[in-house]
Amino acid sequence: MENNNVKCLYCNSIYNLNGIFSHVTFCKKGPRGNNALLEAYEYYNKLDISSLINDYKNDISGKDLVKKYNVTYRIINIIFEKYSIQKRTTHESQLIAYEKSKIIKGLRYGNPLYSNFEKIKETKKNRYGDAFFSNRAKNRKTCQDRYGVDNVFQTKDVIEKIKKRVKNRIGLLCAQGA
């Protein structure tokens, strides 16, 4: 078995790499809490916080930061809070993801606006003679095999769930005096 035990940087107790991060947040000899957690990431994972922040400011996505720096979203949030980094709005994140997808599509298909939709239509047309073919008969058969009904809305479970949801909603409306 691989020996990946490490010493606590504050109290010298021995932990494995999974345990050390939760230990330091409580270690009586350290700063505890999020500060200890960040220090542990810098110490054990060689996390370069300023370079991470720099990447973020250069429009690197959160997902890519997680991969590149071997951190969790929680760690990124702690860093942003500590260093008062303004977080992107959802819209800004979407724009970055969109720009990134254009670059990837450009490299992969030679067309930044490549859409899979056209390709699916063409495949369907070649295979079934209908670009908008939808395999209803097959869906029905799968449903019959699996649940003994033609479509999933006929299963007892789903019917009960829908009934319950409707009942709850009506109850809520009544409670609100609607």
Site for Zn ion, rule CB under 5 A: 8, 10-11, 27
CA dist., res. 64 & res. 38, Å (int) = 19
Q: Of the two residues 40 and 52, which places its CB atom closer to Zn ion in the complex? A: 40
For residue 98, count CB atoms less than 10 angstroms from its CB and return exposed for 0-12, middle for 13-18, buried for 19 or more: exposed
Closest approach, Cβ 5 to Zn ion, in A, equals: 13
Closest approach, Cβ 74 to Zn ion, in A, equals: 20
CA dist., res. 8 & res. 15, Å (int) = 7
Residue spans of alpha helices (H) in 25-89: 33-44, 49-57, 62-69, 73-82
Closest approach, Cβ 70 to Zn ion, in A, equals: 22
Q: Which residue has the tokens 């479970």?
A: 157
Task: Tell me the CA distances in angstroms from 177 to 60, 163, 171, 172, one per residue in order.
Answer: 49, 21, 10, 9
Closest approach, Cβ 47 to Zn ion, in A, equals: 18
Q: Of the two residues 27 and 71, which places its CB atom closer to Zn ion in the complex? A: 27
Q: Of the two residues 7 and 74, which places its CB atom closer to Zn ion in the complex? A: 7
Q: Of the two residues 8 and 75, which places its CB atom closer to Zn ion in the complex? A: 8
